[in-house]
Structure 1
Amino acid sequence: MSGSGGIATLADHKRRRVEELIARTSEAGGVSLIRDAGRRLLRNPTAVVGAAIILLFLVIAIFAPLVAPHDPVQRFPELTRDLTVDHIPGATAGHPLGSDPLGRDFASRMIYGARQTLFVGVLATLIGLLLGVLLGVIAGAVGGRVDMVVMRLTDVMLALPSLLLAITLVALASRSTQWTVIIAVAVVNVPIFARLLRGSMLAQRESDHVLAARALGVKRHDIVLRHMLPNSLTAVIVQATLTFAVAILDAAALSFLGLGDPDINRAEWGLMLGVDGVRYFEVRPELAYFPALAIILVALGFTLLGESIREALDPKNRR
């Protein structure tokens, strides 16, 4: 009797513990993976720093007309008066960063450059993401020969260095423009997203909820779009955050090499670094320092935030 009484007491203790945990969870409203990841991101100094850098440059880019002291294409007589091949005016009253080689306000061009650089990098990443998701869904859902063709194509693209492939694509265009840079950088990122999503969908194909949906007679496209795809996008979204940094660097590199938009009036950090910074480095090195520093900071911000999101969404790191 004493043995059975001890077992009953232990069972009651476990039951009370379970009830306490259920009550505590219900009071807190439950903690989902996304909510738990958000809490850890807020407590992660690396994520906060990365988000702050990105937010700062986004605000500057969006409100460039309000932040910039002057028109970025306007030439000022007080700057062009002392402008020579061997002398470019530095900081003066009303022009905190001085002049560029054409007598335009350099600070205003740096501010507008944030808008242009982020536009190219973000748009190229989004286009690459959409095309990569489309190919990944087709390969992961259809399988067979379609999967083999798509994956061999991505293998060929991944075998080439990303910058070399982007240079090749831009060189094929009859005339370099802003959109040739965007398309080239987007195409370079397509195989990364396609392979990542395809692998996630293959893992989802044999999961319990997908097998249950098949047993219930759910149509194939509903299984793909409602069950497999939503549960496979997390890794792709995290990769997209990291790809923002790579896209910005690739776009800046193409402009630096003279393969971007040839319009010298367009304020873009890579173009400013290549056209003005290198050519007049010995005369005024600040023309190269500031665009390079801005590119590094933006890429660093996206990298820090992307790595932090990856760690926060990793189930192994949940406590």
Structure 2
Amino acid sequence: MSERSERTGGGIAVLSEKKKARLDALAKSTASTGGVSLFRDAVRRLRRNPVAIVGAAIVGLFILVAIFAPLIAPHDPVERFPELTRDLRVDNIPGAQDGFPLGSDPLGRDFASRLIHGARQTLFVGVVATLIGLAIGVLLGLLAGAVGGWVDMILMRVTDVMLALPGLLLAITLVALASKSSQWTVIMAVAMVNVPIFARLLRGSMLAQRESDHVLAARALGVRQRAIVLRHMLPNSLTAVIVQATLTFSVAILEAASLSFLGLGDPDHNRAEWGLMLGVDGQRYFEVRPELAYFPALAIIIVALGFTLLGEAMREAIDPKNRR
């Protein structure tokens, strides 16, 4: 019995020495490099993640095309060209030809130029809708997580009702309530769909921060509740919300495109936007020229995939529980 105890004690001692050696080596490495912040560590992980690289490449290319669309597009997206309107009929839409690599749209405009300019309009709709939903959701989540009590109960019951409805159905309902559909009704509808997601996420993070050591220490020192919320709880709770905003951007693009496809989007058909091009021209003339639907749909899918890959990689890099 004593011999077994000696062997067990000796094994524990060896493991302790190995663990101590590893900790000493890690301490020396950290001391020589000066430590690594959470942000730098996340960036390093993203640079080594092939999924993040692919997503960042797609997102970067999409943003560059949107910004420099007037310089990249070969023609004016709203101009009608005689070369394209000459043989234009209801049952015949000209395809690719010299100077017009993707042919014509149903009104004799350069389809390639409209597709390039559509990146700018799609980026605008997605960014503004995401930012509005993020701002309102953060405000509601902050109030629910910081105040608590009946404020938390009322706000969360409202978000529960909104989450109970499918996102697209809620967006259609909000657009239908507007007296006249426009680009901004689409933006606001998509933004309101994303509000409960941000509110719920921030509220959960705030509740987790409420009983943390640094918050309890601040309360013990007599720091005001407002300062504790704004300086300690909120900054430490925003990381997950920001990552979620990256994922929500792709959903916002898809929902805006869905509304345009259903005829509830922007009524201005001169404005080049992928969802509008897919819904109006692609659906109506699919049997005549299916490319009018293929290219906008492919662009929407690729961009949504890029933001999704980047968002998932950011979530894995920032959250220690999901790190590989």
The 2-side partners of 1:317 and 1:152 are apart by 30
The 2-side partners of 1:315 and 1:57 are apart by 30
2:7 equivalent in structure 1 = none
Partner amino acid, structure 2, of 1:221 = R
The 1-side partners of 2:309 and 2:19 are apart by 43
Partner amino acid, structure 2, of 1:146 = V
Q: Is the 8 A contact 2:138 2:202 kept in 1?
A: yes
1:161-217 deviation digits (Å, cap 9, x = unpaired): 000000000001111000000000001100000011001000100000000000000
The answer to whether the aligner puts 1:98 opposite 2:103 as a matched pair is: yes
Structure 1 range deviating more: 25-34 or 211-220: 25-34
Among 157, 178, 194, the residue aligned to 1:189:
194
Report deviation, 1:22. Answer: 3.1
Report the TM-score when normalising by structure 1. Answer: 0.94
- Mapping of 1:34-53 within 5 angstroms? 34-53=39-58
Among 15, 25, 35, the residue aligned to 1:30:
35
**Residues 1:80 and 1:217: Cα distance change in structure 2 (over 3 Å):** same
Report deviation, 1:15. Answer: 8.2
2:250 equivalent in structure 1 = 245
1:73 equivalent in structure 2 = 78
1:278 partner SS? helix
Among 83, 88, 91, the residue aligned to 1:83:
88
The answer to whether the aligner puts 1:216 opposite 2:211 as a matched pair is: no
Partner amino acid, structure 2, of 1:122 = V
Partner amino acid, structure 1, of 2:100 = H
The answer to whether the aligner puts 1:290 opposite 2:295 as a matched pair is: yes
**Residues 1:13 and 1:128: Cα distance change in structure 2 (over 3 Å):** closer
The 2-side partners of 1:240 and 1:94 are apart by 39
Q: Is the 8 A contact 2:201 2:240 kept in 1?
A: yes
1:206-247 deviation digits (Å, cap 9, x = unpaired): 000000000000011100000000111111111111100100
**Residues 1:218 and 1:262: Cα distance change in structure 2 (over 3 Å):** same
**Residues 1:188 and 1:12: Cα distance change in structure 2 (over 3 Å):** closer
The 2-side partners of 1:301 and 1:197 are apart by 25
Partner amino acid, structure 1, of 2:31 = S
The 2-side partners of 1:90 and 1:125 are apart by 36
1:7 equivalent in structure 2 = none
1:146-165 deviation digits (Å, cap 9, x = unpaired): 00000000000000000000
Structure 2 gaps, min length 5 = 1-15
- Mapping of 1:251-290 within 5 angstroms? 251-290=256-295
- Mapping of 1:161-180 within 5 angstroms? 161-180=166-185
1:8 equivalent in structure 2 = none
The 2-side partners of 1:18 and 1:247 are apart by 46
Structure 1 gaps, min length 5 = 1-10
The 1-side partners of 2:316 and 2:247 are apart by 13
Structure 1 range deviating more: 255-264 or 15-24: 15-24
Report deviation, 1:23. Answer: 3.3
The 2-side partners of 1:60 and 1:113 are apart by 10
1:297 partner SS? helix
The 1-side partners of 2:249 and 2:81 are apart by 35
Report deviation, 1:18. Answer: 5.7
Report deviation, 1:36. Answer: 1.5
The 2-side partners of 1:100 and 1:86 are apart by 12
- Mapping of 1:114-193 within 5 angstroms? 114-193=119-198
The 2-side partners of 1:65 and 1:16 are apart by 61
Report deviation, 1:17. Answer: 6.8
Identity %: 81
**Residues 1:155 and 1:17: Cα distance change in structure 2 (over 3 Å):** closer
The 2-side partners of 1:43 and 1:273 are apart by 36
Q: Is the 8 A contact 2:315 2:322 kept in 1?
A: no
Report the TM-score when normalising by structure 2. Answer: 0.92
Structure 1 range deviating more: 137-146 or 22-31: 22-31
1:79 partner SS? helix
Aligned length: 311
1:158 partner SS? helix
Among 48, 63, 68, the residue aligned to 2:68:
63
The 1-side partners of 2:29 and 2:316 are apart by 26
The 1-side partners of 2:19 and 2:196 are apart by 51
The 2-side partners of 1:161 and 1:136 are apart by 21
